[in-house]
């Protein structure tokens, strides 16, 4: 099966600019996650979707971050305006419904904010 696709792989922007990341999950996976991974740390959940509804966005900085999952498939994560501390790898993951179903990760987008 095709894996989780993410683009772009790398992005360099200046602070206060905006940026968007795209994710296409594994076909049939109802749950989609966006994680932020700062260098040397574990993934931190930003937002979790179940189909096209939000399950958990408690750690999403909503003043600058937004995400959507139209039609319950692809998803985009946007940052506007970016700050220096947003420099990180943004990982998208998907999972089938059901306990014990593992997360499947994309290769991530490495964002550098200068």
Partner 1 sequence: AQSVTQLGSHVSVSEGALVLLRCNYSSSVPPYLFWYVQYPNQGLQLLLKYTTGATLVKGINGFEAEFKKSETSFHLTKPSAHMSDAAEYFCAVQTNTGNQFYFGTGTSLTVIP
Contacting partner 1 within 64-103 (CB under 8 A): 91, 93, 95, 97, 99-103
Nearest to 93 by CA among 12, 37, 18: 37
Residue with smaller CB distance to partner 1, 67 or 91: 91
Query: What sign does the dihedral 53-57-63-64 (CA atoms) show?
Result: negative
Determine, following the binding rule CB under 8 A, whether residue 24 of this chain makes contact with partner 1. Answer: no
Question: What does the block give as tokens for 85?
Answer: 């501390």
CA distance 67 to 106: 17
The set of residues, in sequence order, having a beta carbon less than 8 Å from that of 41 and lying 6+ positions away, is none
User: Looking at 4, 19, 47, 60, which residue binds partner 1 (CB under 8 A)?
Assistant: 4
**Span interacting with partner 1, options 11-19, 37-45, 61-69, 75-83, rule CB under 8 A:** 37-45
User: Looking at 7, 14, 28, 56, which residue binds partner 1 (CB under 8 A)?
Assistant: 56
Distance of CA 100 to the CA centre of its chain: 21
Strand, coil or helix: 79: strand
Residue with smaller CB distance to partner 1, 45 or 73: 45
Query: For binding to partner 1 (CB under 8 A), which residues are involved?
Result: 4, 31, 33, 40-43, 45, 48, 50, 55-56, 91, 93, 95, 97, 99-108, 110
């Amino acid at each position: 099966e095709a894996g989780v696709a993410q683009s772009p792989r790398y992005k360099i922007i200046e602070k206060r600019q905006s940026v968007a990341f795209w994710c296409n999950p594994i076909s049939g996976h109802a749950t989609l996650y966006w994680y932020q991974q700062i260098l040397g740390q574990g993934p931190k959940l930003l937002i979790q979707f179940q189909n096209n509804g939000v399950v958990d966005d408690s750690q999403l900085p909503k003043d600058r971050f937004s995400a959507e999952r139209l039609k319950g498939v692809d998803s985009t994560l946007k940052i506007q305006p970016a700050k220096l501390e947003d420099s990180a790898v943004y990982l998208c993951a998907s999972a089938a419904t059901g306990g014990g179903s593992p997360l499947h990760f994309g290769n991530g987008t490495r964002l550098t904010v200068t």
